[in-house]
Amino acid sequence: MKKQQSPARLPVPEGDATVPQLNGLLSAGSGFYSLPGQHCNEVWPRLFIGNAFVAQNVMRLQKLGVTHILNVAEGNSFMHVNTSAEFYAGTGITYHGIKANDTEQFDISAFFEEAAGFIEHALAHKDGKGKVYVHCREGYSRSPTIVIAYLMLRHKMDVRVAVATVRQKREIGPNDGFLRQLCQLNQTLEKEGKLKLKTK
């Protein structure tokens, strides 16, 4: 199996990030996307992305050592995951929910800062030993988008580096609307001088 490039050596093209560039990273330039091969993956130290199956399995979460859960698909429809703070009552797991839809029109960027703050706080929990499980229904579009935004906002990563970092650990495929919003965040952070990880 060919080893993927480490994100630190990822060549980031000059100029603004674009949706086609991000799609190229997601499909490894092949135009083909893979569905996640596992229910959950650790994509950053103590930060997991996964699906509803694990989110609803408290024993499994406790085995992973999860202290915090961020549900990016809170709701009752079949496209959502109907968990809540009550669902995890008595488990010691802290819950936060975001009612996001996996559509290109949905403004997920409205939740970027709120989610990044929750993840940052969660990872600092227990003297820096907190573990966060970020999920949506499949762990493929909504939750990876939120984790990528967290890496950009809190670790100053260029969007292309952040996408490659997550993609290296899990098969993901945020919809084009979400990718566009990540590109817009990238432009904003670049203008404000808040990005450091470009090419090395």
Find the distance separating the first CA and the last CA of the chain, reported in whole Å.
25
3-state secondary structure the chain: CCCCCCHHHCCCCCCCCCHHHHHHHHCCCCCCCCCCCCCEEEEECCEEEECHHHHCCHHHHHHHCCCEEEECEECCCCCCECCCCCCCCCCCCEEEECECCCCCCCCHHHHHHHHHHHHHHHHHHHHHCCCEEEECCCCCCHHHHHHHHHHHHHHCECHHHHHHHHHHHCCCCCCHHHHHHHHHHHHHHHHCCCCCECCC
Given its phi and psi angles, is residue 177 left (phi above 0), alpha (psi -120 to 50 degrees) or beta?
A: alpha
Q: How far from the centroid of its chain's Cα atoms is residue 141's Cα?
A: 8
Active site residue 40: no
Q: Which of 52, 115, 136, 164 is catalytic?
A: 136
Catalytic residue ranges: 136
